[in-house]
A and B are shown apart, each in its own frame.
Chain A
Amino acid sequence: MKTLNRRDFGVDLGLALAAAILLPATSARADDMDVHIDNFVFQPAELKIKIGTTVTWTNRDDIPHTVVSAGKFRSKTLDTDDKFSFTFTNAGDYKYFCSLHPHMTGMIKVE
């Protein structure tokens, strides 16, 4: 009765390592944030970030999802383990949802 999530820790570690090597220590990317989609839920559902932060969504469900904020950003369809990143350059509240499963909603607060 449990849905399956795929978590490829090997890949995540590899990416983290690559980022550590390629980016200078002072990079703003140090503050970059992740949102995971697990069991049809954006986690964390609400995120407070600073201007310039890049948020990366990763779909860890067996079902495709999207990340859409009307007029602001729109991901392609994210299949299992696909990622979408967006850099927030303006302050404000960004309410977003999955256009396939509109009951899935989230919020990014940029200050």
Chain B
Amino acid sequence: MSGHDHGDDGVSRRKVLECMTWAGTGVLWTVTGGVPRSLGIIDSAQAATAAAPGMTFLQISDSHVGFDKPANPNALGTLEEAVGKINAMPTKPSFMIHTGDITHLSKAAEFDNADRIISQSKLDVHYVPGEHDFLDEEVKFYRERYGRGTKGQGWYSFDAGGVHFIGLVNVVDMKAGGLGNLGAEQLAWLEDDLRGKSKSTPIVLFAHIPLWTVYPEWGWGTEDGGRALEYVKGFGSVTVLNGHIHQVMQKVEGNVTFHTARSTAFPQPAPGAASSPGPMKVEDAKLRSMLGVASVNFKQNEQRLAIIDTPLQG
């Protein structure tokens, strides 16, 4: 895994993608101002964070606690492994975001188990719900646990390290034949939340389903995601972090960088590579190379964003 230096040349993006195709575990980003750059995959990432301390945060996603099918009979176990990786990081991240599908069936015990493991990271965790977290009859378990202080179905924003973070909910009121959905109320709130913000404020949007259209045939996109992106278009640096598709995908459009994270539970196929987006069964020996966590490092006064994917196992 070492020897991939994404540091400071023009081909770094190509190298990042090259790494992502085979690296399995997590991402370390360094942002400031705009152009995304990766510091490297875990070993080099650790060296890089030590060398250039900035505000660092982790992304974790799609834990699916309660999932017990052949693709991974022990989703709680691999979540625990991911937390172990996090605890072993040489520099403690400032906090963590979880981009949804904490549980598989929204059962109280699943939320309890997820919480018990994730809290071992001793990090503040900012959640957004996945569709699997809203399956209980009254749709209250997620909101009672994680919804305090949020608006509507659970959206909110906060500031950290000079960056404005916005957690969005795009897993409610989905329409037949459609994609993820933010809805008018949330979009109005978002527009209002951004009003008056300096255009030089780095923005991080995070939500479960990709806000950009990844593969509509599998519902991988957000119907009104374009509206949200309109509101952030004028900002100098925008990073969009999503889960849901259980694989790393990245795209840059102007000042906006889109990035999806791996699951800690089970992989899903590349768009169109299988008859459905369902859990992908891989050899046991390969599973951990396809699960992971991501960390993002914001460095003040530097025009770069580093993305480092860290597999549970190389």
Contact = CB atoms under 8 A, between A and B. Distances in A.
Interface of A: 1-4, 39-41, 61-64, 68, 70, 76-77, 79-80, 95-97, 99-105
Contacts of B218: 40, 103
A64 B135 contact: yes
Interface string B259-290: 00000000001000111111111000000000
B274 A1 contact: yes
Interface stretch (B22-30, B159-167, B176-184): B176-184
Nearest to A79: B105
A41 B274 CA distance: 13
B234 interface: no
Contacts of A97: 176-177
B276 A77 contact: no
Interface in B131-169: 131-132, 135, 137
A40 B218 CA distance: 9
B175 A102 contact: yes
Given A2-B281, A62-B70, A102-B179, 4 more contacts: A3-B281, A4-B278, A64-B104, A103-B217
Interface of B: 69-71, 104-106, 131-132, 135, 137, 174-179, 216-219, 269, 273-281
A70 B176 contact: yes
A103 B216 contact: yes
B283 to A, nearest CB: 12
**Which of B71, B177, B278, B280 neighbours the largest number of chain A CB atoms within 10 Å of its CB?**
B278
Contacts of A95: 176
Contacts of B105: 64, 77, 79
Contacts, number: 77
A102 B279 contact: no
Which 9 residue pairs are nearest across A and B when measured between Cβ atoms?
A3-B278, A97-B176, A39-B276, A103-B219, A40-B276, A62-B69, A102-B174, A77-B135, A39-B275
A39 B279 CA distance: 10
B269 A40 contact: no
A22 B280 CA distance: 41
B278 A103 contact: no
B261 to A, nearest CB: 18
B177 A80 contact: no
A4 B279 contact: yes
Contacts of A3: 269, 274-276, 278-281
A2 B174 contact: no
**Which of B69, B218, B269, B280 neighbours the largest number of chain A CB atoms within 10 Å of its CB?**
B69
Nearest to B221: A103
